[in-house]
Amino acid sequence: MASGIIGVMPWTDMLSGLAALGVNPHDVPANVEGTLPQQGAKKFLPRPTEREDLWQLFRGVMRYWRGALRANLAKTPP
C-alpha cells in the first residue's frame, strides 16, 4: 500500500519527504527526542513506540523519490 501511495504522490505535487522541507538527517536525533514525551501524539499509534522505532520512522520519511523521477513521469498517472 505504501509504495502505491508514494507512486501517486508526485502527481499531486506533494513534497518528497521531510528533506523537501529543509530537514536533514542530522535533525533526526532532535526529532526523536522531541517526539518521545508527546503522549498526545503517541496515543494514536497502533503499538508502543520506542526510541529506535522513531529513529527508523524519521530516517524513512526523509525522501520518497528523487527530483528527476518527477520530471520523467508521463502526463497521466499509473
DSSP character at residue 37: T
How confident is the model over 18-42, as pLDDT tens digits? 888 889 999 999 999 998 888 887 7
Q: Which three cell numbers stand for residue 23?
A: 530537514
**What pTM was computed for the model?**
0.64
Tell me the average pLDDT across 53-77: 69
pLDDT tens digits, one per residue of 36-64: 888 887 788 888 888 999 999 899 888 87
- Asked whether 55 and 32 are in contact (CB, 8 A), the reply is yes
Contact 35, 51 (CB under 8 A): no
Q: Which three cell numbers stand for residue 19?
A: 528533506
